[in-house]
């Protein structure tokens, strides 16, 4: 290198020895270290990779959209492409719904609509987070969890809950087997004592009496035999349990979970989007939107109300007006009974972030009569402070949604225009309430 052969100031170049410096070996060995570092195996990822939720939940609603391509000013041919696609869609407009409509069955016992088809259930959850699994906390994931559990049992692993459950079952089986062995041992001891008394009194079988005496003097011999029998029996039971478990793992798994939709979600999917067809549980015939409106209004009361006793301030109407309002604004609306509210508002969905707002619905009457003043809509400050304290602890903003209730509803006939008139007769006002803290609000 030039830095190594150049002579220093005041030293003869002919007498200078070209001794390699300390940097030369390090530079020479650098490629060897780099190759060794490259050959070193990378650490194995222990935590499974999370699914791509942005790709799974890319569609906010269970509808297919067909947008026009973007116009590029630098490329005039893009205008021809836009015109071609527009004319093709104008001549033969593509459908926004699936080829096979989603079908649900209304259940008057649970006051909800059940989706039994697994593909339809996944589609409703992935496109808008509608409903909940009947055997899950939120997402219908029972089938995946069951497959993971059986796979973990087959390979001897599993989650902490599965290992704890397995240990409890084995401990329970051991205790039952130990109790049975102790009971048999006590019974055998009593039988031998009775036999010994009979033999000593009759004095007919001296050898047997001697054996019984030896057994009383050396009881550990019989204890070993009893323990051996117990271990043998336990081994047989364990082998039987393992065989049954292997047969269960080899058998195909049937999905036993349904997607459960509440009344507001069901009516929104059926009336507003047209993506859901609801069947009657008895006749298995599809129900019209006007019939669904009356049916859901009846089942929003407990016990189920009669048609003659329905009013404009039915719980279903109040809840659906608020649900439709925020769904139309792009929010993901989920039930909020867990946090002492009516609904929760998510920006994109539960898998992306926590809910930002908690909704409390309060009816507002145009002319308050004595009945309405003493009934719905009367809530005190103590109740409001309790709810607001809960929302502040879970870091959510409390929103009071006032729904103005009309005096009477227009008549509902066969057709969606009349239902639209009913929904337009309600008004929604919202107020955000935050907890006042003296330490944070000082000047």
List, run by run, the mean pLDDT of 10-residue segments along the chain (443 residues). Answer: 43 42 46 55 66 89 84 83 86 82 91 93 93 91 83 64 77 89 89 78 59 52 54 58 54 84 95 92 89 92 89 93 95 93 94 93 74 52 86 92 90 66 92 76 60
Tell me which residue has tokens 């593509």.
Answer: 94
CA dihedral (420, 422, 424, 429) positive or negative: negative
Whole-structure pTM value: 0.67
Burial class (CB in 10 A: 0-12, 13-18, 19+), 157: exposed
The three-class DSSP label of residue 323 is helix
Residue 250's pLDDT is what? Answer: 55
Residue 194's pLDDT is what? Answer: 83
The residues, ordered by sequence, that sit 6+ positions from 152 with a Cβ below 8 Å of its Cβ are: 158, 159, 162
Residue 216's pLDDT is what? Answer: 52
Tell me: domain 288-443, CATH 3.40.720.10, correct? no
C-alpha 44/C-alpha 345 separation (Å) is 39
The three-class DSSP label of residue 191 is helix
State the DSSP H helix or E strand holding residue 107, giving kind and residue range, or none if neither. Answer: strand 102-107
The second-level CATH assignment, the architecture, of 98-131+260-287 is: 3-Layer(aba) Sandwich (3.40)
Residue 20's pLDDT is what? Answer: 45
Q: Where are the beta strands (DSSP E) in 262-365?
A: 276-279, 332-335, 343-346, 357-365
C-alpha 292/C-alpha 428 separation (Å) is 23
State the DSSP H helix or E strand holding residue 386, giving kind and residue range, or none if neither. Answer: helix 381-393
pLDDT in tens, 318-330: 999 999 999 999 9
Q: Where are the domains of the chain?
A: 68-96, 98-131+260-287, 154-250, 288-443
Residue 209's pLDDT is what? Answer: 54
What is the set of active-site residues?
A: 346, 354, 396
Residue 203's pLDDT is what? Answer: 58
């Amino acid at each position: 290198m030039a830095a190594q052969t150049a002579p220093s100031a005041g030293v003869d170049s002919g007498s200078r020895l070209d001794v390699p410096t300390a940097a030369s070996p390090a530079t020479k060995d650098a490629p060897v270290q780099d190759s060794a570092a490259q050959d070193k195996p990378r650490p194995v990822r222990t935590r499974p990779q999370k699914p791509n939720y942005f790709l799974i939940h890319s569609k906010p609603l269970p509808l297919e959209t067909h947008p026009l391509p973007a116009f590029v000013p630098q490329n005039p041919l893009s205008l021809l492409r836009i015109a071609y696609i527009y004319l093709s869609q104008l001549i033969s407009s593509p459908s926004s719904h699936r080829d096979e409509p989603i079908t649900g069955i209304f259940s008057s016992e649970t006051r909800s609509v059940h989706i039994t088809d697994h593909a339809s259930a996944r589609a409703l959850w992935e496109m808008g987070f509608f409903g909940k699994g009947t055997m899950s906390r939120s997402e219908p994931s029972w089938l995946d969890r069951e497959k993971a559990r059986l796979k973990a049992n087959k390979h001897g692993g599993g989650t902490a809950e599965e290992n704890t459950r397995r240990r409890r079952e084995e401990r329970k089986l051991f205790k039952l087997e130990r109790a049975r062995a102790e009971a048999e041992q006590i019974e055998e001891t009593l039988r031998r004592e009775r036999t010994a008394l009979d033999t000593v009194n009759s004095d007919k079988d001296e050898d047997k009496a001697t054996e019984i005496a030896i057994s009383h003097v050396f009881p550990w011999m019989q204890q070993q035999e009893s323990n051996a029998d117990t271990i043998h029996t336990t081994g047989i039971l364990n082998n039987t349990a393992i065989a049954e478990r292997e047969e269960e793992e080899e058998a195909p798994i049937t999905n036993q979970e349904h997607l459960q939709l509440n009344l507001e979600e069901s009516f929104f999917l059926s009336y507003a989007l047209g993506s859901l067809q609801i069947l009657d549980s008895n006749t298995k015939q599809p129900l019209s939107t006007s019939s669904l409106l009356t049916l859901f209004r009846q089942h929003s009361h407990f016990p189920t109300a009669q048609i003659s006793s329905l009013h404009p301030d039915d719980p279903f109407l109040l809840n659906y007006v608020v649900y439709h309002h925020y769904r139309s604004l792009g929010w993901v609306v989920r039930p909020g009974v867990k946090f002492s509210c009516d609904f929760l508002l998510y920006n994109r969905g539960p898998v992306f972030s926590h809910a930002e707002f908690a909704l409390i619905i309060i009816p507002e009457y145009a002319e308050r009569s004595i009945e309405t003043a003493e009934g719905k809509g009367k809530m005190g400050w103590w109740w409001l402070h309790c709810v607001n304290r809960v929302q502040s602890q879970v870091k959510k903003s409390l929103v009071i949604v006032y729904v103005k209730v009309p005096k009477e509803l227009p008549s509902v006939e066969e057709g969606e225009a009349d239902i639209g008139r009913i929904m337009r007769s309600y008004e929604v006002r919202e107020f955000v309430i935050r907890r006042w803290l003296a330490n944070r609000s000082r000047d």
